[in-house]
Amino acid sequence: MTKGQQFAKTMRSNLGIGARTRRFRKGVDLHAEILECIRNATYYPGYYTGERAELFQAAFGAQVSYGKHIAGYRADATVIAHINSLSPWQFCALIGDMVDAGITNVGEGEAFFAEMGRRLYAQAA
């Protein structure tokens, strides 16, 4: 199991996300909650312990890239719409894919989202 897959599994367990969980649970955006867990693990040492903290901290580059390119509307509109339509289960998998791709900064995240855009356009053609 790759580090990204372990991240997705641990995050789903941490927030109680199932395959049919909707994005908004009792008025709370689970995409934002996932990103908040990553921020907490990075900014507040000891918030999570052991392997969970290590996995969540490894996703910090993906979280920052998401904030800059998706939440900041810098990426292609098709990519933004696609990511915003993901379920929390799929969103965990996306962040896990970014961890596996080795995203550690915003520039690498930009390349990742650009490639995702090319794949989406190729699927639509």
* Number of domains, the chain: 1
pLDDT of residue 107: 95
Structural contact between residues 40 and 47, judged by C-beta atoms closer than 8 angstroms: yes
The dihedral sign for the CA sequence 56, 62, 64, 67:
negative
pLDDT of residue 98: 97
- The domain in which residue 55 lies consists of 3-124
pLDDT of residue 100: 97
pLDDT of residue 125: 80
What would the two tokens of residue 50 be? 């052991």
Q: Can you tell me the distance from the alpha carbon of 20 to that of 44, in angstroms, rounded to the nearest whole number?
A: 31
How large a percentage of the chain has pLDDT more than 90? 97
Model pLDDT for residues 66-86, shown as the tens digit of each residue: 999 999 999 999 999 999 999
pTM for the whole thing?
Answer: 0.94
- For the cut 90, the answer to whether the pLDDT of residue 36 exceeds it is yes
Q: Can you tell me the distance from the alpha carbon of 125 to that of 120, in angstroms, rounded to the nearest whole number?
A: 9
